[in-house]
Every structure is written in C-alpha cells, then in structure tokens.
C-alpha cells in the first residue's frame, strides 16, 4: 500500500475531518480513504461539445456542407 502526507492542512478542516471520522466510527485515515474513494469513483462528466452532440443526435443530426474559402482572411485590426 502507498502512503501520502498532506502538509499545511487547515486546522478547521482537520477538526471537521476528525468529527466526521468519529461520527462514522473510524479513524481519520479511514475517513480520508473513504472520501478519496468516493470522489475518484464518480462518473466523469462529458464535455460541453459531447453533451451538445448527444442532444442533437436524438433529432437525427444534420450534415452541413462546409463551403471552401476563396478569399483571404481579413486583418482583425487589433493594432488600431
């Protein structure tokens, strides 16, 4: 098993951790392991693009033809 050391832990946070551990009837170390397991086993949320694609895929999607660009890009004028 690996070990980890957490430095500069806020005293208030440590006190809350101690209270939660006592409430659940186990050590502070076990409480931290439980919190980490719970946080890291959460399903990862998809990004915004994936959620948009999923929402519109239900409607059948759309194939758009992207026109070729014939003119040169314009200067946005940031120097002005």
pLDDT digits (tens, 9 = 90+) for 26-55: 999 999 999 999 988 877 778 888 888 888
Listed by start position, the domains of the chain span 11-55
pLDDT digits (tens, 9 = 90+) for 10-29: 999 999 999 999 999 999 99
pLDDT of 32: 95
Look up the pTM and report it. Answer: 0.53
| Number of alpha carbons in the 13 Å side-chain half-sphere of residue 63 | 0
What number of helices (H) and strands (E) belong to the chain? 3, 0
Helix ranges restricted to H, the chain: 11-24, 28-40, 48-57
| Dist CA 50 CA 3 (whole Å) | 37
């Amino acid at each position: 098993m690996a070990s980890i050391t957490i430095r500069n832990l806020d005293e208030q946070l440590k006190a809350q951790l101690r209270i939660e551990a006592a409430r659940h009837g186990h050590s502070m170390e076990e409480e931290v392991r439980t919190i980490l397991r719970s946080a890291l086993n959460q399903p990862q949320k998809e990004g915004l693009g994936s959620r948009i694609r999923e929402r519109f895929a239900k409607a059948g999607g759309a194939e758009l033809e992207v026109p070729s660009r014939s003119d040169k890009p314009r200067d946005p004028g940031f120097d002005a």
